[in-house]
Amino acid sequence: MTTTPERIHGWQDSQLSIARFYGGITYQGRRYVIAVAEKGAPLVRADVLAREAKERKAADKAAQAQAAKQQEQLI
């Protein structure tokens, strides 16, 4: 079984460039979307973007909890 890459760089000048017209593409059975916020705008697997968003949200929540705890100690 082959594993699909998490990110595909340099896709703009290949057969995958059709993705720019649809905002994404299915490659090897996986859905890839264009990550315009990242440098070079790579194609990123949709499940990877969801996982990274979940991790970012958890980190933000932990930072807010830490800030609230520090604020509580000041009062």
CA dist 14 and 67 (Å) reads: 47
Measure the CA–CA gap between 8 and 20, rounded to whole angstroms. 13
pTM (2 decimals)?
0.77
24-39 pLDDT tens trace? 999 999 999 999 999 9
- CA dihedral over 46, 52, 56, 61, signed as positive or negative: positive
| Of the candidates 1, 6, 57, the residue with the CA atom closest to the CA atom of residue 32 | 6
Contacts of 59 (CB under 8 A, 6+ apart): none
pLDDT tens column, 17-74: 999 999 899 999 999 999 999 999 999 999 999 999 999 999 999 999 998 888 877 6
* Alpha-carbon span 13 to 55, nearest angstrom: 32
Domain edges within the chain: 7-74
